[in-house]
Structures are given as C-alpha cells and as structure tokens.
C-alpha cells in the first residue's frame, strides 16, 4: 500500500490592522499640538493574521487563507484592499463598529 500525499490549506486567523509609521519623529507632541514629520507618515496594512498568511505565500505555500476582524469604515476597507497577494484569499469580518486608534 503506497503513501498518499495530502496537500492541506492553511487558515491564518486573527485581526487586520492599519499601522501608521512616522520615521524620525523628533518628539511626541502634547494633545492638540502639531509636530512636523520630516519623512512623512506612511500607512502599512498588517496584523498577525495577514502578516503570517502573506509570509507563507511568499515562501511558496499554496492554499493560504487569512481571516480577521477589521473595522467597518473606509480605513478598514482600505486595509483589506491593500493586504497583498492575490495568492492569499482574504476573508475579512466586519463588526458593526468603526476602526479605533490604539497607541
């Protein structure tokens, strides 16, 4: 009797996040103040579910799926739209609440 190779899919589950990266910020300003960001503000979609799934795709794994909770607002929709590779199927979960900033 021979050995049969079974190719399994991978499901990464967690959350999708929007990271705002401000390189070389000279200081964190007081609430309501303005601070100049000399190198601009960069947006990067991510979250552990998305990061692991996209990493597996980049390593050549087939059948990768990613599911995660994301805010039901324009920022949440942009985050999902920018999450990567067409080889990774994204399955977002939209709670009935907008994204919330966290520090």
Residue-wise pLDDT tens digits, 44-67: 888 888 888 888 888 988 888 888
The two structure tokens encoding residue 10: 């991978």
Instruction: Summarize pLDDT for 15-45 with one digit per residue, the tens.
Output: 888 888 899 988 888 999 999 999 999 988 8
Distance CA 89, CA 61 (A): 12
DSSP symbol at 99: -
User: Whose CA is closest to 49, among 90, 93, 88, 12?
Assistant: 12
pTM for the structure as a whole: 0.61
The pLDDT assigned to 85 comes to 62
Residue pair 88/98 in contact by the 8 Å Cβ criterion: no
Alpha helices (runs of H) in 19-95, residue ranges in sequence order: 48-58, 74-82
User: Whose CA is closest to 65, among 80, 49, 79?
Assistant: 49
The pLDDT assigned to 33 comes to 93
């Amino acid at each position: 009797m021979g050995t049969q190779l079974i190719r399994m899919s991978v499901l990464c589950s967690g959350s999708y996040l929007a990271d705002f990266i401000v390189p070389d910020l000279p200081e964190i300003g007081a609430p309501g103040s303005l601070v100049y960001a000399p190198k601009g503000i960069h947006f990067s979609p991510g979250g552990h579910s998305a990061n692991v799934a996209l990493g597996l795709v980049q390593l050549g794994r087939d059948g990768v799926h990613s599911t995660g909770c994301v805010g039901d607002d324009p920022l949440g929709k942009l985050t999902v739209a920018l999450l990567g590779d067409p080889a990774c199927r994204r399955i977002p979960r939209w709670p009935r609440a907008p994204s919330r900033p966290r520090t």
